[in-house]
Structure 1
């Protein structure tokens, strides 16, 4: 194991954005700084960052002027280290239950080394026979997998007799929704929405009966055809125009699990729902949720275990869930993260630190 350096790098939020994130110039959203590497005391571990999770929700955490009373987690304020989940390796330990060399999932943040209390580090175990890698614990077996299962099963209450539509179907959560709906719940029909022919083909390879390209000129026409007869369940990852369009394609008394709004994160004022009356006229139920709700209700681990068993039973093609693992220098962490908002990934977007 390499010697631990006396100093550690970290990215802080220097200019919380109102609209688009800036990667350079005087108004750059993030700033790289160097601080002394912290030391540990009894019951603590020092963890070296190996992989970062990239999640659209992080954009909301850094929004300029975010109201802490209305946000589900404390916002990341100016001068704070950027928050992120991740996978790391324990390089020093004074905790009896955690050994040096152990891989753990944790709130990593954008920092080389971080001191954790033992309870803040969750040991992970790869399973080569089942195809389970370390990075799956920030993907299919982490937040995205749990979000997909909880939102689809507990929030939207999808059943085998339902037709399910999911936007952002090529993303980390959406691609899991496709597989859970088709191969775990056995839903009658599963329709994905993604950007580009290549992504749509990939979504269909996961089990979607059809995937509609929202970048195509005839998107709405094809969506109407794909949803002929209307649908019972819509899992919304994007908000914006696609949500507005889908409000016209949901059956009376249909259910919408409202998971994300990536289409509007960089332009909060762009949301314009012209079809809102559809919610009233057709008594559509929309329910927002946060993945943390699963644990607050006491059955989060049970759902994670269900997803893990589906992987072992080959119902979920976990080997396809990290289609975009990006080798990244520490200095380029923000650049890799912004791929989320450029449509640059299939499945889970993971940053693999190379230095």
Structure 2
């Protein structure tokens, strides 16, 4: 096969304030074919095979967001939509990588990308760990769960932990880390269907509540009788507001995500904020990159791999939703994040 000189790319053409639009007169993304730059020393040409889909990407494209308030630069209008991928080296001018090597790379929504070798991570071959798990359980997703539960929330054997979005990529790892690795006395999950809840319970949750049921509020109050020490928040909005009333004095909230408010220009406010004051609650937002910068990520990954080998955590086909996708349909697969269409990590497999 000849070396490609062009690549298809999905470009951010219109920044959304509400739900991204894939069709119509002002679509959020536009498909383009553009020339690839020539390789320079210490660069590689890679082909994306699997693309990571993450709720955080929605925050990077919001119209009117102040770049000074983001932890990474927003995706510029007219720029390639940002995403991490498992990719294959097609051509290399780096001593670190050769043709055929598999790497973790920020290719964006592109078939091919020319990248600096220093910005890539090699895919390690570990028994029982597939390539896609480096985008999920043993990638930034798993590290987010690990640091959020162990370091930010300081969860331990004496704690009851409540996890929202427990059937998602991060939440499903939080459930396992809390129950199986940290030995928390009780773990309560929340998910969007009875089927997902049964899966969350199979991972180790003592109980999982379907937040779409009419009885959810009553169910949550019963499940948190006596109140709880730790809440791992992936959703924000009304569920966070309710959970503020279910925390023990000096309870800890690890604020990881706010997916309930990502696709609306009128986000839900908090009516129960006074609970934070009266019960001396600790709410701490965190970004996994802060821990990555400390150089301790390999340590954490190997600790989770050890837990996998010891049977403490489950990582398999059920812990990810891999969707075979034509490149022309990449945005459609990404939108499944906001439709509850995935269990565990949502991964795009380019076909």
User: Out of 298, 301, 306, which is 1:304 matched to?
Assistant: 301
Q: Matched residues in 2 for 1:26 and 1:297: separation?
A: 45
Give the TM-score, by structure 2 length: 0.98
Query: How far is 1:119 from its partner?
Result: 1.0
Quick check: 1:322–1:349 contact (8 Å CA) kept in 2? no
> Match of 1:17?
16
**For residues 184-263 of structure 1, what are the structure 2 equivalents within 5 Å?**
184-263=181-260
Gaps of 5+ in 1: none
1:27 maps onto 2:41 in alignment: no
1:7 maps onto 2:35 in alignment: no
> Match of 1:289?
286
- How big is each residue's C-alpha offset from its partner over 1:266-292, in whole Å with a ceiling of 9 and x where there is no partner? 014222211111111111100000011
1:92 maps onto 2:91 in alignment: yes
Quick check: 1:140–1:321 contact (8 Å CA) kept in 2? no
Q: Matched residues in 2 for 1:131 and 1:304: separation?
A: 14
Gaps of 5+ in 2: none
Q: Matched residues in 2 for 1:312 and 1:38: separation?
A: 43
1:265 maps onto 2:262 in alignment: yes
SS at match of 1:247: helix
Q: Matched residues in 2 for 1:320 and 1:271: separation?
A: 35
> Match of 2:142?
145
SS at match of 1:181: helix
Segment drifting more, 180-189 vs 318-327: 318-327
SS at match of 1:334: helix
Quick check: 1:339–1:345 contact (8 Å CA) kept in 2? yes
1:280 maps onto 2:277 in alignment: yes
Q: How many residues are matched? A: 351
Query: How far is 1:312 from its partner?
Result: 2.2
SS at match of 1:223: helix
**Aligned-residue RMSD, C-alpha:** 1.1
> Match of 1:350?
347
Query: How far is 1:297 from its partner?
Result: 3.5
Quick check: 1:16–1:78 contact (8 Å CA) kept in 2? yes
Q: Matched residues in 2 for 1:321 and 1:276: separation?
A: 37
SS at match of 2:316: helix
Query: How far is 1:320 from its partner?
Result: 4.5
> Match of 2:322?
325
Q: Matched residues in 2 for 1:93 and 1:319: separation?
A: 32
Q: Matched residues in 2 for 1:300 and 1:277: separation?
A: 36
User: Out of 156, 174, 180, which is 1:183 matched to?
Assistant: 180
Q: Matched residues in 2 for 1:334 and 1:322: separation?
A: 22
1:83 maps onto 2:82 in alignment: yes
Quick check: 2:36–2:114 contact (8 Å CA) kept in 1? no
- How big is each residue's C-alpha offset from its partner over 1:301-348, in whole Å with a ceiling of 9 and x where there is no partner? 322222222122221101146431000000000000000001100000
**For residues 37-186 of structure 1, what are the structure 2 equivalents within 5 Å?**
37-127=36-126, 130-186=127-183
